[in-house]
Structure 1
Amino acid sequence: MNLLKVGGALLALGLAVSNAYAAEPSKGKVLVVMSSAKTLDLKEGKTYETGYYLNELATPLKAIVDAGYTPVFADPQGNEPQMDVSSNNDMFFDKDAAKREEALKFVASFDGLKHPLKLSAVAAKGTSEYKGLFMPGGHAPMQDLMKDKDLGKILTQFHSTGRPTGIICHGPIALLAAAHDPVALDKALISGDDNAVKSLAKGWPYAGYKVSVFSKGEEQQLEPGQLKGSVLFYNDDALAKAGAVVDNGEAWKPHVVVDRELVTAQQPFSDHEFGQKLVAALNAKSH
């Protein structure tokens, strides 16, 4: 037996197998919607420097990528999204600094996050190439995404086709972008005009959906220390006034709600369960 030939054959076989795995096709694209905002307006003219929450992006994104999907990032301005520095904390990673560092490196590995598409370009082209949509939280979506009309068009396309739409923590407030006039709706929420909110929310496609979102109680715990001010309105109140059925659990405990194509989660500690349920929805829709 010629050992060199055998060895060469085994090497060739190994390379072929390796290449086959490397060339394994993606299950499809997932649109990852980010906020362009770097600050959140608060009451009394105060502001809070914000962005996306590290684990709310990294953990579900890893689940999506590990499941074989390709993320495509987009935000309103086409600028690199900012991370909320308060999220760069071991408490969101099982108090494990190594896991937090891994998350930072994982997020930094995506060039598309540094150079995202503009939501206007995505809306103009249409979303038929995407299997689903994922949006992380942080306070930033309250500043821009909830009143972004291009996002409203995008969400409506996913809704009308029943494609999975996964949003975590403060992110679900962005569902209001699908209202007829989200800019006016935002103003009505800030002014506390409930009659105007009800009128402007007529025809909102997510009316009657069960939704989990960062709660008023959780927000009020953050306001004195982290935010050093009060938000202009509370997410759960706003969604309820617009016609959603808010389904929240215990404060700071994992809580995820699935209603039709919509997968929503209450706060950062829901990240793992949220990622699993979003991937399950993507896989179910893809088959």
Structure 2
Amino acid sequence: MKKILMVLTSHSEMENTTDRTGVWLGEFTDPYYEFIDAGYQVTLTSPKGGRPPVDPMSELTENITGSNRRFQDDETLKNAFSHTTVLNQIKADDYDAVFYPGGHGPIWDLAFDNNSGILIHDFLDAGKPVAAVCHGPAAFINAAQQRPGFLQGKIIAAFSNAEETLVGRSGHVPYKLQSKLEELGAEVKTALVPFLSHVEIDGLLITGQNPLSAAPTAKALIECLAQQTEVPAISTDNDNEKSLV
């Protein structure tokens, strides 16, 4: 059975406000159930371990998804979510792919987490895909610090500057993710209209722009894994057959 690692933020505080942040719930539950329903085994991890904080805005009625409701009735997943493994105990060798959900939290912790940055390179060096959605691509910042030039010329999707402004949180974050990724050399592509789904695939990097992109990003990762496991057809051309002695 293929195994997918999901790396969640442990950060909950925002700047210049009493508002809280954390994991955007649908960006975790939408991909999680895509993976589970496709037959994958999923492991959850976070920098501090235990239960990650959840962005309260992602639990508002207008942001609830079908997977959120499924999560509320899933005692097994709720228990796993409350007991995530500490990130520094994770090894890429044990998994086939990694997925970073968003929520604003990653721009504080995963963006500067050395364990996460090393993990990303370990996956890519082993030919394993790395996926991230919304603010999840903030994890690429540390990966770029680990290896300068890592993002140069990479085409990715991430939460856009326009979307940051429209949600009213641009004054409560230390930087805008799109601008930061572009400063590091990435080409950030976005949907023509803010908050519409948008996914980019650049080699083993699979990225989505916003909450609506979470499930499509997961599906793109599943497709990538399926392509990696396809067995090439064996030639039946008699002229090319060789006898085994």
**TM-score (normalised: structure 2):** 0.86
Match of 1:215 in 2: 160
Partner-residue secondary structure (3-state), 2:179: helix
Structure 1 or 2, whichever has the larger Rg, is: 1
Partner-residue secondary structure (3-state), 2:93: coil
Correspondence list, 1:145-164, <5 A: 145-164=110-129
Say whether 1:285 aligns with 2:228. Answer: yes
- The one-letter code sitting in structure 2 at the alignment partner of 1:221 is L
Which 5+ residue runs of structure 1 have no aligned equivalent? Answer: 1-26, 182-201
Q: Residue 80 of structure 1: CA displacement?
A: 0.9
Correspondence list, 1:108-257, <5 A: 109-122=77-90, 126-180=91-145, 203-223=148-168, 227=169, 229-249=171-191, 250-257=193-200
Distance, in Å, in 2 between the alignment partners of 1:102 and 1:51 is 20
**TM-score (normalised: structure 1):** 0.74
Q: Work out whether residues 156 and 205 of structure 1, in 8 Å CA contact, stay in contact via their aligned partners in 2.
A: no
Q: Residue 105 of structure 1: CA displacement?
A: 3.0
Q: CA RMSD in A?
A: 2.1
Q: Work out whether residues 166 and 264 of structure 1, in 8 Å CA contact, stay in contact via their aligned partners in 2.
A: yes
User: Which deviations, in whole Å up to 9, do the C-alpha atoms of 1:62-119 show, x marking residues without a partner?
Assistant: 011111111111111112101111111343456xxx6642243348624332111111
Correspondence list, 1:3-82, <5 A: 27-40=1-14, 42=15, 45-46=16-17, 48-82=19-53
Say whether 1:260 aligns with 2:225. Answer: no
Q: Residue 286 of structure 1: CA displacement?
A: 3.4
- The one-letter code sitting in structure 2 at the alignment partner of 1:180 is Q
User: Which deviations, in whole Å up to 9, do the C-alpha atoms of 1:131-190 show, x marking residues without a partner?
Assistant: 100111000001100000010110011121221111111111111121336xxxxxxxxx
How many residues matched?
229
Match of 1:9 in 2: none
Which 5+ residue runs of structure 2 have no aligned equivalent? Answer: 231-245
Distance, in Å, in 2 between the alignment partners of 1:240 and 1:229 is 19
User: Which deviations, in whole Å up to 9, do the C-alpha atoms of 1:220-247 show, x marking residues without a partner?
Assistant: 1112xxx494422111000000011111
Distance 1:213 1:58, change over 3 A: same
Match of 2:239 in 1: none
Match of 2:243 in 1: none
Q: Work out whether residues 29 and 68 of structure 2, in 8 Å CA contact, stay in contact via their aligned partners in 1.
A: no
Q: Work out whether residues 30 and 67 of structure 2, in 8 Å CA contact, stay in contact via their aligned partners in 1.
A: no
More helix by share: 1
